[in-house]
Structure 1
Amino acid sequence: MAAFPSLPRVGIISQARMTSTRLPGKVLLPIGGRPMLHYHLARLRTAGLPLYLAITTNTADNSLADFATTQAIPCVRGSEDDVLSRYWQCVEQHELDIIVRVTSDCPLLDGALIGQGVAEYIKQADSRLYLSNVLERTFPRGLDFEVFSRELLAEAFHNSTLLSDREHVTPYIHQNRSGTVRFQHITHPTDRSNYRLTVDTAEDFELVRVLIEQYQAHQLTTTELLDLLAAHPELVALNAHIEQKKA
């Protein structure tokens, strides 16, 4: 186990692409006159951590690179299918010690919640630790984040051989293939895993659009957002029938 520096370099890396199979171009679809990606990045900024965008080398993603430039966010480009290599490229290029992994189809991620998770991770001072709100799911899909070390990512990058491992970045880590990973789960006091705030389909997008345009959800805390959904079952019903795409 390698020790962290006294002031570890932490970065949030968001993966994005324009060629989504179920809703192509979703991350730049307009909500309230702004691209969906704008809300994603604005929410993440509240964590107070450096942000990086990991996109593909496809020409379709040139628009994402341009948007990242307008937002003054560093952008790395790599393989469409080997997303793990994009993360490793970003970590090496920006010399990160601790990585927060998020996906760009989650416009209502809570930067404050992520910040608390990172503070807890640093406090633990354990480079073999994987911390997330994903494995024991009590938060809605769409508020997902994972925190892990450069050490763990390096092992995954160098040892993962399955295509699914390369595409989904962290299976080698969270399936504990090395046998030496320690886990810590961030959970919500009440199970809200039945809510769906990620955007994979047109129905998902419609829910997020209504939440932002009519209820200013992009300005709400996680508690306020979950209370809003609990008070409006008709909103939850907009995408309750959507099944999560299998990893």
Structure 2
Amino acid sequence: MKIGAIIQARSSSTRLPKKVLLKLPFGGGITVLQQVIRRTLKSSMINELIVATTNDVADDEIIDISEQEGVKWFRGSKEDVLSRYYNAAKESSIDLIVRITSDCPCIDWQIIDKVIELHLKDNADYTSNTIKPTFPHGLDVEVISFSALEKAHLQAKDSFEREHVCPYISTTHCDMFKISSFEAPQELYAPDIRITLDTEEDYALLCAVFDFLFEKEQYFLAGDVVHLFRSKPWLKIINKKVVQKKHFFDLKDELKEAIKILKLQDLDGSADIIRKFVDGM
């Protein structure tokens, strides 16, 4: 069985353009994408790593970084990320796909291996540590059998399913697949910690994390991150108001989320108007 990690990466992020090309640690010579590649390569179970980017000329730099790091790359659709994953996996004859996103520079290879081990033990179609939020957000790992990925690629129609790769398997048609959930042990339970990269606030936090941990141990682990936040809880304040992007299938749920965002910005009047509308639905 060939196990391959596919890291999706592009430079045209809407909230923080070229985020994967930012330097971590700040002012150093290593990009966010390089941190993700190097940490993922420490996995003992992955046979191959592929960086899957888009056909856009703007993403040529991602190809350059991939070649510099000595890993394979694949170019595909910018919006249809599901097809990008499927074609990258098919071209390299990968049986088990490990999905990693390039905005997770603290990704822990030990967690990657444990998710793979559970997937194989359960003979699952899809296994992830994101089904039930228990880990810090930014240590996300999804493992997908090629047959499940192929079925999703052939049958998924919704743009949300195609943009985010796994929802057809994990959410909208989960009854068709065998799914396993990997949850954090007590010492790593910290779903309130956000160490992913979507905004300037996230980048400021990650710069602080790397300033504290990277010099001492370049390949720090999830336990080091959790310990850091427990010893310095003020770190959470840096990106406290960042809202994770979500997709809703129901207008009422979407409006409820809008109320939360408005309240974070102290826009109480607008929030109250929408709340009254929701109450009357």
Same fold? TM cut 0.5: yes
Which of 33, 36, 50 aligns to 2:32? It is 36
Distance 2:244 2:95 in 1: 31
Shift, 1:63, TM fit: 0.3
Residue 142 of structure 1: aligned partner: 138
**Matching residue of 1:192:** 190
Q: CA–CA distance in 1 between the matches of 2:178 and 2:19?
A: 35
Of 161, 164, 168 in structure 1, the residue corresponding to residue 164 of structure 2 is 168
Q: Given residue 227 of structure 1, which amino acid in structure 2 is its aligned partner?
A: H
2: CA distance, partners of 1:42 / 1:229: 23
Output the amino acid matched with 2:232: H
Change (3 A) 1:125 1:246: closer
Query: What residue is the counterpart of 2:227 in the other structure?
Result: 227
Q: Percent identity?
A: 34
User: Which residue does 1:213 correspond to in 2?
Assistant: 211
RMSD between aligned alpha carbons? 1.4
User: With structure 1 as the length reference, what TM-score do the two structures score?
Assistant: 0.92
Match of 2:17 in 1: 24
| Aligned counterparts of 1:135 and 1:123: Cα–Cα separation in 2 | 18
Which consecutive unaligned segments of at least 5 residues does structure 2 have?
A: 248-281
DSSP-derived class of the 1:53 partner: strand
Shift of the alpha carbon at 1:123?
2.6
Aligned match of 1:5: none
How far did 1:196 drift? Answer: 0.2
Q: Secondary structure of 1:233's partner?
A: coil
Match of 1:4 in 2: none
Structure-1 separation of matches of 2:211 and 2:55:
32
Aligned residue-pair number? 238
In structure 2, give the amino acid aligned to 1:62. Answer: D
Which amino acid in structure 1 is aligned with residue 204 of structure 2?
Answer: E
Q: Measure the CA separation in 2 of the matches of 1:173 and 1:99.
A: 13
Say if 1:43 and 1:218, in contact at 8 Å, map to a contact too: no
Is the 1:108–1:218 contact (alpha carbons within 8 Å) kept by the matching residues of 2?
Answer: no
> CA contact under 8 A between 2:118 and 2:182: conserved in structure 1?
no
CA–CA separation in structure 1 for the residues paired with 2:220 and 2:203:
18
Residue type at the aligned position of 2:38:
A
Per-residue deviation, 1:215? 2.4
* Structure 1 partner of 2:117: 119
- Residue 151 of structure 1 is matched in structure 2 by 147
Paired residue for 2:266? none
Q: Report 1 or 2 for greater relative contact order, CA contacts < 8 Å, sequence distance ≥ 6.
A: 1
Deviation of the 1:210 alpha carbon = 1.4
Which one of the candidate residues 178, 181, 192 is aligned to 2:177? 181
Corresponding position of 1:245 = 245
SS in structure 2 of the partner of residue 51 of structure 1: strand
2:73 aligned with 1:75: yes
Shift of 1:36: 1.3
Tell me which structure has the larger Cα radius of gyration: 2
What are structure 1's unaligned runs of at least 5 residues?
1-7
How much does 1:72 deviate?
1.1
Bigger proportion of residues as helix: 2
Conservation of the 8 A alpha-carbon contact between 1:56 and 1:77: yes
Q: Bigger shift: 181-190 or 142-151?
A: 181-190
CA distance in 1: counterparts of 2:42 and 2:117, whole angstroms: 14
**Partner Cα separation in structure 2 for residue 113 and residue 106 of structure 1:** 13
Q: 1:1-26, CA deviations, whole angstroms, 9 ceiling, x for partnerless residues?
A: xxxxxxx1111111010000010001
